[in-house]
Structure 1
Amino acid sequence: MKIAVIGTGYVGLVSGTCFASWGHDVFCVDKDIQKIRSLERGVVPIYEPGLDELIERNSAIGRLNFTCNLTEALKGAAIVFIAVGTPPRAEHGDADLSFVFAAIREIAPLIEDDTVVVVKSTVPVGTGDVVQKIIDSARKAGSFSVASNPEFLREGSAIRDFREPDRVVIGAEDERSRRVLTQLYTPPLAASNTPIVVTRRRTSELIKYAANAFLATKITFINELADVCEQVGCDVGELALGIGLDKRIGTSFLNAGPGYGGSCFPKDTMALLRTAQDYGVALRIVEETVSANEARKRRMALKVTDALNGDVDGRTIAVLGLTFKPDTDDMRDAPSLPLIETLQRFGARIRAYDPVGNENARQLMPDVKFHDDAYECARDADAVVIMTDWDNIRELDLTRLKRVMRRAVLIDLRNAFEPGLAEKIGFRVSAIGRAAVGRSEIDAMREMPNMRRQIRHDQLGRSAYLEPMGGFNEHL
């Protein structure tokens, strides 16, 4: 069938290309003529492993087309996907739907009868109802359908996520859209027995936000437990494995680190909070998740400062990895941004390296010296900070790294290296969720009955206390 995709951002470009790879005739539409011309030449504006090859292959056989001509794209299209951006509004934090509604107003008089208009952009509950009214004002009611089909693509593995999804969610109010979208997804996913969840449109819209808020909470939970591990002498990696093997919990999103970022979790948690507030509902867990995550990103700068004996003024610090996660060039809400900004305010000189993110990072960090090689970035540095666990960063030769540095201090905020390896080479290491070097777990536990340990919760502005536990030494 013919499919039109409005918007050639991350979601639109990946979705349109993958639909074409399933054998459909796809027209991807964008107002940016320079972007369209670049795509026609095979120049992809985002970094996503495997996407450029897939675009080239499907464009060559005529199944994937890029155009600014909306009439051409919509003529004969059975499905029109709306995949434009919904960025957060600075003043409120809720989703800015102006791009969605502008796109709907443009397509409304041009779509043909029986077209199914599908909102794939991440939108608040009730957006589909507004879309329905906008199109109703331009054409006869009942001559079209409006459905919701949220995306669950992870940057860095988006093509696999599209082709091998955990589930497909379809939100529809009429039989036509249910049937057409089920027919679209069933054949290519039949072999993998992928569940197709068909529900009401509003429920579908909420599923996307709820999923991302839950995952953000899970990340924040393990990050806070990592702080506990550092204080009591535990290893957060072993802790995560121990709880994650419980099938009710699962091991995904239990890697402790400097906080979540990217284009989805920060935006979607805030948008969900705004929706709940609009309906008079309190989402306390999500509120605390957002607060704790923002506080954690800046607190990582204090971890770096502590590793340098409390003073980074005049020190040269090499930050390896800048994007919010590996296999993407996305710098949106990356934890490296507040970390570097805070260290600079403390007087540190920052050098930075990222395999693909340097170009985007330069636009956000004008006072940082960027390098195209990790070892050159670390040359004569007083400390190295691991911010993003790219494979080529995990595979660094630590002996060579130590040789080029001024001081052998490693702050591993992604636990990219095996415990003890860097210490044996001669590094002073500060990691996430691991006790300080030279302090064994047994020593940490022996101290607990004799002291009153304070666990600071800076994001809440209050302290909780863990009282001594009697009888601890009996088991040591």
Structure 2
Amino acid sequence: MNIAIVGTGYVGLVSGTCFAEMGIDVTCVDIDRQKIDRLQNGEIPIYEPGLEDMVKRNVDAGRLHFTTDLATCLDKVEVVFSAVGTPPDEDGSADLKYVLAVARTFGQHIKKYTILVTKSTVPVGTAQKVKTAIQEELAKRGEKIDFDVASNPEFLKEGAAVKDFMTPDRVVVGTESMRARKIMTRLYKPFMLSGERMIFTDIPSAEMIKYAANSMLATRISFMNDIANLCEKVGADVNMVRKGIGSDTRIGRKFLYAGCGYGGSCFPKDVKALIRTAEQNGYEMKVLKAVEEVNEKQKSILFEKLQKHYDGNLKGKTIALWGLAFKPETDDMREAPALVLIDKLVTAGCAVKVYDPISMPECKRRIGDKVVYCRDMYDAAVDADVLLLVTEWKEFRMPSFAVLKKTMADKIIIDGRNIYDKEEVAEHGFTYYKIG
């Protein structure tokens, strides 16, 4: 089976590589010539555990190809996935210009029945716009060629994207056609050998499922952060509260961790887009507006704790940050709490030293030399007045508090992910603050 995937970001590159791993012939398409050249040389543009080796293996096996020209591969493929970006517009809605550009190219060049599958996260109604764009291009050519459009949203977690694709908990496909349904079933069959987990829906429902899923997860995070902030005021411990409510099978334990806010490419963008979709249809998403408001405020929580400790006098303080990416196992800093925190610290007159095992090059690309980039976690802590734990990378979980005690100027730790034991930290002479 031959397929093409347009877009070589997280979704496109991971999807294409995993399909190739199952024996499918995959051509990945991107308009960025430099990115394609790098991929052809075995260099991947993102950090994702396990992906680089898999790309190299499938390129060497002749199953994974890269090009800048979708038209050149349309003759041989049965399915084209559109995995291009849908950045937010100024009003929060998803910008569909790249999605529609793929649809127009598809309509300009197909010569036989082919399915165009939207894998990008798009608002309800996008498939109809895609279908219209294809039909318009075919009309310009004076051609009548059968095609189908489908929606196949992705549910990949950065840092675990390869595993999520290879062993999905569900594959959602929205389609209007039995012909397309059969082809999509055949395409995903290698991933279903341990049990059927395909969910077929109408197209609008498939488009909505992705937004609803991410918005629900974002809601759980903001809810727990709200509870954590109240816990601090009433003397409760949010970790105990989390265990108590998480043991209820109706609630479950996942995504109930308090912290310093969520970031990344999905939750912030998708929450905004769903709010905007509702507004365009005369409805107000009051809960999601609150979720967004809580999260934006939570990104400042570590700075507020720091200010409170020093009675607002932060000028001249040296602050160490452990973790820059919005979550572990990725170099992604889109909407990362660390960016908000760094900006506030620098504005307040602090010297900021940072360490992250993966994302320091990305941080430097974004903010330049506003901070000092350190060679390891302990280097960042040298002469620091305060250590702020922002991202819970594994190497930060069991630090040597004895080393930190010797090297830090002041003995203050503010834990933005609640990974340390308060009593253990206090035994080493540190003042310790956590979330909730």
- Corresponding position of 2:94: 95
Q: Distance in 1 between matches of 2:111 and 2:251?
A: 46
Identify the match of residue 187 of structure 1 among 183, 186, 190.
Answer: 190
Q: Distance in 2 between matches of 1:327 and 1:400?
A: 25
Q: Does 1:64 find its partner at 2:73?
A: no
Q: Does 1:4 find its partner at 2:24?
A: no
Per-residue deviation, 1:142: 6.2
- Corresponding position of 1:129: 128
Contact kept in structure 2, 1:166 and 1:194, CA below 8 Å: no
Q: Distance in 2 between matches of 1:354 and 1:145?
A: 45
- Corresponding position of 2:303: 301
Q: Distance in 1 between matches of 2:247 and 2:180?
A: 39
Contact kept in structure 1, 2:168 and 2:191, CA below 8 Å: no
Aligned length, in residue pairs: 431
Amino acid at match of 2:88: P
- Corresponding position of 2:418: 415
Amino acid at match of 1:289: V
Contact kept in structure 1, 2:22 and 2:190, CA below 8 Å: no
Q: Distance in 2 between matches of 1:375 and 1:309?
A: 27
Amino acid at match of 2:290: E
Amino acid at match of 1:206: M
Contact kept in structure 2, 1:76 and 1:112, CA below 8 Å: no
Amino acid at match of 1:20: A
- Corresponding position of 1:254: 256
Q: Distance in 2 between matches of 1:403 and 1:225?
A: 36
Per-residue deviation, 1:418: 2.3
Per-residue deviation, 1:416: 1.9
Per-residue deviation, 1:187: 3.5
Contact kept in structure 2, 1:163 and 1:189, CA below 8 Å: no
Q: Distance in 2 between matches of 1:186 and 1:340?
A: 46
TM-score normalised by the chain length of structure 2: 0.96
Q: CA 1:194–1:303 in structure 2 vs 1: closer, same or farther (change >3 Å)? A: farther
Contact kept in structure 2, 1:148 and 1:172, CA below 8 Å: yes
- Corresponding position of 2:200: 198
Per-residue deviation, 1:133: 0.6
Per-residue deviation, 1:312: 1.2
- Corresponding position of 2:171: 168
- Corresponding position of 1:79: 79
Query: Which aligned pairs between 1:312-323 and structure 2 lie closer than 5 A?
Result: 312-323=314-325
- Corresponding position of 1:150: 153
TM-score normalised by the chain length of structure 1: 0.88
Equivalent residue of 1:429, what SS?
A: strand
Q: Distance in 2 between matches of 1:396 and 1:45?
A: 31
* Structure 1 runs, 4 residues or longer, greater than 4 Å off: none
- Comparing 215-224 with 134-143, greater Cα deviation is found at 134-143
Equivalent residue of 2:330, what SS?
A: coil
Query: Which aligned pairs between 1:189-338 and structure 2 lie closer than 5 A?
Result: 189-191=192-194, 193-338=195-340
Per-residue deviation, 1:310: 3.5
Q: Distance in 1 between matches of 2:235 and 2:120?
A: 44
Q: Distance in 2 between matches of 1:391 and 1:99?
A: 37
Per-residue deviation, 1:293: 0.8
- Corresponding position of 1:26: 26
- Corresponding position of 1:51: 51
Per-residue deviation, 1:283: 0.8
Over residues 269-304 of structure 1, what are the superposed CA-to-partner deviations in whole Å (9 max), with x where a residue is unaligned?
A: 000000000000111000111111111112331112
Amino acid at match of 1:81: F
Contact kept in structure 2, 1:88 and 1:94, CA below 8 Å: yes
Query: Unpaired segments of 5 or more residues in structure 2?
Result: none
Amino acid at match of 1:353: Y
Over residues 154-209 of structure 1, what are the superposed CA-to-partner deviations in whole Å (9 max), with x where a residue is unaligned?
A: 00000111111121100011111111112211332131x24211111011001100
Contact kept in structure 2, 1:351 and 1:368, CA below 8 Å: yes
Q: Distance in 2 between matches of 1:153 and 1:141?
A: 36
Per-residue deviation, 1:372: 2.1
- Comparing 348-357 with 108-117, greater Cα deviation is found at 108-117
Over residues 337-388 of structure 1, what are the superposed CA-to-partner deviations in whole Å (9 max), with x where a residue is unaligned?
A: 1111112222211111111110111122231111121111110000000000
Q: Distance in 1 between matches of 2:289 and 2:65?
A: 43
Query: Unpaired segments of 5 or more residues in structure 1?
Result: 434-476
Over residues 24-44 of structure 1, what are the superposed CA-to-partner deviations in whole Å (9 max), with x where a residue is unaligned?
A: 000001111111111111111
Contact kept in structure 2, 1:28 and 1:73, CA below 8 Å: no
Over residues 204-257 of structure 1, what are the superposed CA-to-partner deviations in whole Å (9 max), with x where a residue is unaligned?
A: 001100111111000000111111222222221221121112121111111110
Q: Does 1:339 find its partner at 2:348?
A: no
Contact kept in structure 2, 1:7 and 1:82, CA below 8 Å: yes
Contact kept in structure 2, 1:301 and 1:340, CA below 8 Å: no
Q: Distance in 2 between matches of 1:16 and 1:395?
A: 37
Contact kept in structure 2, 1:307 and 1:430, CA below 8 Å: no
Seq. identity, %: 46
- Corresponding position of 1:380: 383
Equivalent residue of 2:108, what SS?
A: coil
- Corresponding position of 1:15: 15
Structure with greater Cα Rg: 1
- Corresponding position of 1:461: none
Per-residue deviation, 1:114: 1.8
Q: Does 1:177 find its partner at 2:176?
A: no
Contact kept in structure 1, 2:75 and 2:112, CA below 8 Å: no
Give the aligned CA root-mean-square deviation in angstroms: 1.3
Query: Which aligned pairs between 1:352-391 and structure 2 lie closer than 5 A?
Result: 352-366=354-368, 367-391=370-394
Equivalent residue of 2:277, what SS?
A: helix
Contact kept in structure 1, 2:211 and 2:270, CA below 8 Å: yes
Amino acid at match of 1:334: A
Amino acid at match of 1:102: A
Q: Distance in 1 between matches of 2:254 and 2:31?
A: 38
- Corresponding position of 1:109: 108
- Corresponding position of 2:398: 395
Amino acid at match of 2:18: C
Q: Distance in 1 between matches of 2:82 and 2:343?
A: 36
Q: Distance in 2 between matches of 1:95 and 1:148?
A: 16
- Corresponding position of 1:42: 42
Over residues 122-155 of structure 1, what are the superposed CA-to-partner deviations in whole Å (9 max), with x where a residue is unaligned?
A: 0001000000011112235560000000000000
